[in-house]
Structure formats: C-alpha cells, structure tokens
A and B are shown apart, each in its own frame.
Chain A
Amino acid sequence: MHAAIKRTIGIRRGAGLYQAIASAVLAMGTLALALPAQADTVKVGVLLSFSGPAAVFGLPERDAILALQKEVAATPINGHTLQLVFFDDKTNPTEATRGATQLISDDGVVAIIGPGTGGGILAAGPIAERLKVPLLAPAGTVAITDKANSFAPWIFRVAINDQVGVKTLLGGAVKNGAKRVGVFYQEDAYGKFGNDYAQKLAGELGFEVVESVSAPYTATDLTADATKLRNANVDTVFMQVSISSLGASFLKAAQQVGLKAQIYANSGLSQKSFIDAAGPLGDGVHVLSIGNLPYDPTPPEQKLAAILEKNGEHPQGWGEVVGSNGLMAVVAALKKINGPVTGENMRATLETLCGFDTLSMGRACFSKDLHDGWLDDALVVTTIHDGKFRSH
C-alpha cells in the first residue's frame, strides 16, 4: 500500500528529492484520515521509461498524465475514482515485464498506459494477455498491433503507426518535388523500420531511395554520413531519428560538407529539444508532428497546453500528446462502464470507443479489428522557422 501511494505522487521531473519525500509523507498522512471512498476506486498503471535512452519521451508523457490527472480525474468519473500507479521500465524489456506483473497482480490495475518502447510492449504483451489487462501503448512500432501476435487484442496504440507517419511525410515530400531521396536513420528498431519502409514506398509514391546511411545513438561525428549522401547527390533527405542531439549533429554535418537538400524528419524529432540543439541550422527543415502542441496548437491542444502550463510544465512535443491520448482513452472508457471495472470490460469498452474527446488533433477511433486509435488526420508536416515548428 505504502509503495503504491509513494509512486502515485510520482517524482516530477527536475523537482528536488526533498520535495518528493515531503509530499509523500504528507499524502500518507492525509490518506490515512480520509473516509473510505464511496465510489469504487479504479487503479490504472503508468508503465513508461523514466530513465535510460527512452526517457527523452517517457518523462514528457508522464508529466502530461500527472498534469491531466488533476484536471480530468480529480472528481470521480461515472462513479469511478481514478487512481494512477507509476512504474519505471528503464527502457528495458525485462523491467517492462516486471512492471506489468507488479502493476496488474499486486496493484490490481485494470489498464496500463505503456510500456514506452516497442521492445517493452512486445515483452509485456503476453503478460497483459495472460492476466487480461489492456495496454495503451504510446509507441509507433508497427509490430505491436500485428495480428500475428496472440496478445494483439490486448494492445491499443495511442500514438501513430510508423507506417502511417512515413507515408504522410514522404507523400508531402513528393508533392514538393522529391525525386532522389537519401535516408539517414538511427540504429535501432525505429530507425531500421523507417529505412526499410521508405524503400517499399519508393515505387508506390514515385521517388527513388538512392542512398541510406545510419549511425548509432552515440555517434559523435556524422560528417562521413553526410558526405556519403552528398556524393550520391540526393535532392531530399529523409531522417528517421528520435534522438535530438543525433538529429542536430546531422544537420551540422550536412551544412559542414555542403549537402544541399530538402530535409524531411519523421515525428521522432518533433521535440523542442531538437530545435534548441539545431539552432539556426534547423530553419527550413520539415518535421512530421503529431499535432503541434508547443507552437500552433489546434483548439484541443490549446486546452492541453493550458493544463500543462498551469502545472509548471512547458510543452515539449509529441510526448505530452500521446501521454494525454492514453489517459483520455481511459477516461472515455470509464465514462461508458457502469458498475465494477475489470480488465476484460475495460478492453471490450475500449474497442467501442470512437470519436471520443481527446486533447489532440484528429479523430480518435478504436474498433474490434483496428487497434491503431489515431491515423493520418492527427499528423501535420510542420516546417521550422526561426526556432518554431510552423503548421502552415
């Protein structure tokens, strides 16, 4: 019980430790005195990456959920008091399974927002299937909703399927006259998928992938990669990267070796930290974005941005958007469930949610055989102008 409460408070990013411990003690005190909740308390797990490489988007996701909890879930929803339980999967599949088991079996959660990475989801999937609790996964990895997996019915994607993302971005590039495309991708599941899928789309969308180069997260100098693309005289570069510093150092290397090409970056880089890192070099780069929370938010996003500001968070990028999608889906499901909430009826209800209200662009819709909640209408190809993503 104690561990769960302590994690419920969660440790806000950047806040000192003393504040966290103080608030935990405070919370324990007040809770002990509170009257037993009349409405049934529904616990939902938040299993994301707060440390390790994926913390770059795990932490913003958590911050959005924490801020939203106060606004949307402060009062009981349809008689259910929503309580969130946090667990850090440390960007590691083994920790993701450990977290799933603990959240479901010990804390009795009826749904889990997370895990944060494709690998974590594939690892936790079988546990979700065995213990009958749905996972709302904020990841683009195509494989997680692949029908071949026996646990596919238990996985609901609250981000955008990578295939949809690449098709939208490269479609936009072709419209702007892209013919000879070079691919720069980071060496992980996300990067490799982008490279392979771009090759597949080449014929369909009418462009040619003339060269593709890759680099590990830790590459400190990308001039060699940029030189290779320049020598293949590409007119467009497709960047399948999610690490801001890697994206920025590619732009630096491109300028350094004189690589003149339109640059289209996938949604992994639609983060404020990418603009800060790229600086003036970022101007003119097109970045696919799930909505445009920090700069040109659509009305629902403006609401999300306001909530974040109220909680002392300034919007970073798509992390907050997909985080909020997860929570909003849970809230929408709770609204439809009367009586006790279980993993099964949560899953069944999620499959009936269509057009429920969210704080992100586009129409969210789940169905029995489509577990990808958000499609291309939630995407926009932005262009960076003087340090901001511009939607138009």
Chain B
Amino acid sequence: MIRRLPRNSLVMAVIALVICSLAPLKASWLDFAVMAGIFSLISLSAGLSYGQAGILSMAQGAFAAVGAYVTAFFGTRLGWPTLPVLALALILPALLAYCVARGVTRMAPLATALASLALANLVEIIAKSWDSVTGGYIGIAGIAPVPGFARPALFNILVWSFVVIAIIVYESVMQSAHGRALNVVRHDRTRAIADGVAVAPLLSSMLALSAAMAGAAGWLYVHYVTYISPQSLDTGVSISALLMAVVGGASYILGPVLGTVLLSLLVKFLPAAEAQGLFYGGALVIILVVARNGILGGLERFRPRSDKERAPHVPHVPAEARATSSAPSQHEEPKREAVPLSSEPGAP
C-alpha cells in the first residue's frame, strides 16, 4: 500500500523552526528540546525498522550507544576531528546492524525482538568490561562539545536539523523503488521475490539505515551530555524508543517524533519520586489500548477521505509469519470481498 506521503519533510522543517525559535526562551525548555530531538532520532530509527521494515528491533538504544562510544573514544581519547568521527558514528552501528540483520530477517517478529534484546545486553556488557576503550563502569567523561555549537541554543538547531535530514532521508527511501519494494515485502514476501526483490539484503539495509540514525543520535547525545556510561543509553532507551514510535504511530513517518515529544512531556510533568513509575507505566498501558494505530493512526480516522484514499492502515504482520503451512494459503480475506463479479463503474 503505497501512500502518497504528504510532504513530511516540509511539515517537520516547520515544526523544527518553531521549536528552535521558542525553546531558547527558557533554559529547561531548551534542554527538553535538545533531549526530545535526540530521542526523536532514536524512536525514528525504531519507526523505520519496525514501522516500515517490520523488523522488531529492541537494539536501537545499543546502536546509539555504539555511536556514542565511538564518538567518545575516537573524538575525545584519540582526538580525531569532528566530521570523520561523525562518519564513524554512523557507519559502525550500520555495519553491526547489517550483519545481525542478515541472520535475523527471516525470523518471526517476536523472535527478532528477543535476538535484538540479547544483542543490546551484549553491547551493554562489553561496554562495562572493555575498560581500556569504553572506560568500563565509570564510562568516559569530559567530551568536548561540537566546535561552533557549544551554546545550547545553537546545538538545539543542530539537533533538529539532524532530525529534519533524517526525515528527508526516511521519506526519500519510502518514495523510491526500494520503498515500494519494502511495502510489497511487508505485505507478501513471495510477491516481492516475484518482482525481483532480494528480501534479506533490503531488510538488512533498512535496519542498517535505522542504526545509522541511532548512531547519529548517539553522536549528538555524547556531545551534549559530555559523558557516556553503560547506563546512559541502555536497554530501557531501546524499549522506550519502540514505545514512542508505536504510541505516535509506527507506520507514519512523523509518528515517532510525535510519540517522543508526548512521552517526554508525560515524563517531565508526572510527579517525581517513587510514584513516577506507577503513573508512567499506567499511562503507557492506557495509550496503547486506546490509540490502536498510534495517535496519527487515530487522527487519520477522523480526516475526511476521498474514495482513492487508503483505508486506515492495518498493521501488517509479514505473510510468512502468519502462513503456518507452506501451501500458498491466501492471507486472511481483505475487508472487501476479493473480486466483485460485476465490475461496477470505477472512479475516474
């Protein structure tokens, strides 16, 4: 189901402009905006890998951590200049993701989630034990800010321009031949193969792209917080990235960004101390039950739709995850009766 995607990049650019102009008014708003931007990138990467490629990855936090540690080690310890370090922070997580994905793409969604969770655990344990490189439990402190973007207001602009670039790349992939092929793969792998799609490399490339996005978030995180330790970007970050994407609407390009801002606000204004988890957990359950396709999915239902507009997006589980027998079982009947016998006069 190829949706003519409204110009998400334009919408995102406008939102980014508003954020960058309003945030500097108050220091804590600025801090909130920077953090929301960084975590939007991670939840965007979850939206890309799960929402579009159907790969349920719980390792987005780990990819961000790899990006962060690479920046901390090469940037601070070895003193490399900023741009090569940024390139490395994008490429290394992408390579790690590509290799893992090739072993995982044919698994059922929940099995992929477990495998990625295990990978995230391994990354965390390596970060704790490889003292010479990652600084072990203490981590690495005193990471210099990005030259020229030391002031938080400027850094905020850098963060949100990264988010806009990520959306532009995300959108151009989804509108390209590979994006169309991906939609076919998510609907029915066999059909995609018949169109000449190499399924495993395509899905792995999508996870690699999402890992690069998470790596960029790691690069930004470590330059802002100037400190990285195994706890900073742990499995909790991966799970909340997925939550933010799913709550916002995983299959919509802007869903994850909306989800991130909403959940961050929720965390900021919930009463602190012991009861915080109770409210946060409760709110998550309620949102997940109420907004079935995420908030954007919910909104779509109220938007007036012309005949050619798509029906509300039904989250697709790739065909082979459902098809138990190898017989070409037709996936469950689409809502409309497959082929109306009489071909009624169609729309223009």
Contact surface of A with B, Cβ cutoff 8 Å: 3, 6-7, 10-11, 13, 17, 20, 50-51, 55, 59, 86-88, 90-94, 97-98, 101-102, 104-106, 118-119, 122-123, 125-126, 141, 143, 148-151, 187-189, 192
Contacts and interface: CB of A to CB of B under 8 A. Distances in A.
Given A91-B231, A101-B28, A126 B272 contact: no
B226 interface: yes
A189 B137 contact: yes
B171 interface: no
A126 B271 contact: no
Interface in B136-158: 136-139, 141-142
Interface stretch (B181-189, B242-250, B273-281, B320-328): B273-281
B26 A106 contact: yes
Contacts of A50: 272-274, 276
B132 to A, nearest CB: 14
A11 B278 CA distance: 14
Contacts of B88: none
A119 B273 contact: no
Interface string B264-290: 000001011111110000000000000
Interface string B122-136: 000000100000001
Contacts of B26: 105-106
Contacts of B110: none
Contacts of B225: 93-94, 97, 123
A149 B274 contact: no
B273 A123 contact: no
A192 B138 CA distance: 10
B82 interface: no
B27 A101 contact: yes
B141 A125 contact: yes
A93 B72 CA distance: 16
A11 B136 CA distance: 35
A149 B35 CA distance: 24
Contacts of A97: 31, 225, 227
Interface of A is mostly: helix
Interface in B306-333: none
A106 B28 contact: yes
Given A51-B277, A88-B272, A123-B227, A98 B138 contact: no
5 contacts: A55-B274, A59-B274, A88-B276, A91-B231, A98-B31
Contacts of B35: 94, 98
B276 A122 contact: no
A344 B213 CA distance: 40
Contact of B139 (A7, A92, A122, A126): A122
Contacts of B128: 187
B232 interface: yes
A126 B274 contact: no
B116 interface: no
A126 B226 contact: yes
Contact of A119 (B231, B274, B276): B231
Interface residues of B, number: 28
A93 B28 contact: no
A188 B136 CA distance: 9
Nearest to B140: A122
A106 B25 CA distance: 11
B210 interface: no
A73 to B, nearest CB: 21
A90 B280 CA distance: 13
Interface in B253-270: 269
Given A93-B139, A105-B26, A123-B227, 16 more contacts: A51-B276, A92-B231, A94-B221, A97-B31, A97-B225, A101-B27, A105-B31, A106-B28, A119-B139, A122-B139, A123-B229, A125-B141, A126-B141, A143-B141, A149-B141, A188-B137
Given A92-B231, A102-B28, A11 B271 contact: yes
Given A102-B28, A119-B139, A11 B229 contact: no
A149 B273 contact: no
Given A122-B227, A126-B226, A126-B227, A88 B31 contact: no
Contact of A11 (B27, B28, B275): B275
A192 B274 contact: no
B122 to A, nearest CB: 14
Nearest to A192: B137
A51 B281 CA distance: 14
Contacts of A94: 35, 221, 225, 232
A97 B272 CA distance: 16
Nearest to B152: A101
Contacts of A150: 142
Interface string B25-64: 0111001100100000000000000000000000000000
